[in-house]
Amino acid sequence: MKQIRADTGICHFRIGNPTTLVEFLVALDLPDLELRANHELVAHWLDWGCVYVDGARQRADSPLDPGQIVRLHTRPKRYPADEGRIVFEDDAMIVFDKPAGLPTHPTLDNFIENAKTRLEERLGAALYTTHRLDIPTQGLLLFAKTTEAQTALNRLFARRQIEKIYHALAPTAVAPGPLVHFINPDSRVPREITTEPRAGWWECHLEILDRGAHARGFFWHKLRLLTGKTHQIRAQFAASGAPLRGDSLYGAKDGAGSLGLECYQLSFKLRSREYAFTRPDSIRDF
């Protein structure tokens, strides 16, 4: 079995005879994609995490048995080279100022260009995810340096004991106060959202703390994120008639480039110590 998507460059193959992953990939000739494999290209695919066997990412050679399925992403999506900056580091965690456009962690077809992998390469040590920022969202991102710290931080996030303050830019001002919406967890983006409770839907809360005029006709909003669901702030602002600057996915018409959303402050108590972090530069200042 062989399936090749010329539009995406994604290929699926069913293995017919015993072989190895590298041997199989090196022999590929894909005229539909104007592509012929070689050892250098195969090494690139493996290093970048473009190869899966039976749904599991493979970054090294391994035996292949008849019936196994190989999935190959020949056109991995690329991300900005901006390295970001470390705001804080101790023996338990690291706070990173993530630039807009950089994933938090490895994506389906790109293991290299993301905050987690780049920081691990810079530090020479493993990091552990505690929360995530959408790819276009910039700002403070917290990684644990040990599994014990990850467990402790995840517990704080689950109990809503980490205060998360965001800045959001929108063409319409949203009144200070709480916003409560319900998001369909099974919906594709843009997320399906309503103000009416529905069984099985995420109950999403945020609180607008302050707002004011910003440049070029936008308004800045300072908000506290009380729950942390995928696309929550973007969907809630759009549902309130104020899609964020640059957020064409949720109906923004401005075409202003980068998304007007940042994680500005994180504060919490861990191991009897109080921590508070503020982003050095804010989108509110520009």
Q: What is the mean pLDDT of residues 182-201?
A: 96
CATH assignment, 79-159:
3.30.2350.10
Query: Does 2.60.40 match the CATH number of domain 2-73?
Result: no
- Per-residue pLDDT tens digits for 94-105: 999 999 999 999
**Would you state the pLDDT for residue 216?**
83
Q: What distances in angstroms separate CA 9 from CA 31, 35, 215, 239, one per listed residue?
A: 12, 10, 41, 35
pTM of the model: 0.91
Fold match flag (2-73 vs 79-159): no
Cα–Cα distance, 171 to 163 (Å, whole number)? 26
**Would you state the pLDDT for residue 285?**
74
Domain residue spans of the chain: 2-73, 79-159, 161-286
Cβ atoms 76, 17 nearer than 8 A:
no
Query: Taking phi first (over 0 means left), then psi (-120 to 50 degrees means alpha), and beta for anything else, what does residue 277 get?
Result: beta
Q: Which residues are catalytic?
A: 134
- Per-residue pLDDT tens digits for 131-165: 999 999 999 999 999 999 999 999 999 999 999 99
Give the largest Cα separation in the chain, rounded: 66
Q: What is the mean pLDDT of residues 162-186?
A: 97
- Which architecture does CATH list for 161-286? 2-Layer Sandwich (3.30)
End-to-end CA separation in angstroms for the chain = 54
Q: What is the mean pLDDT of residues 228-257?
A: 92
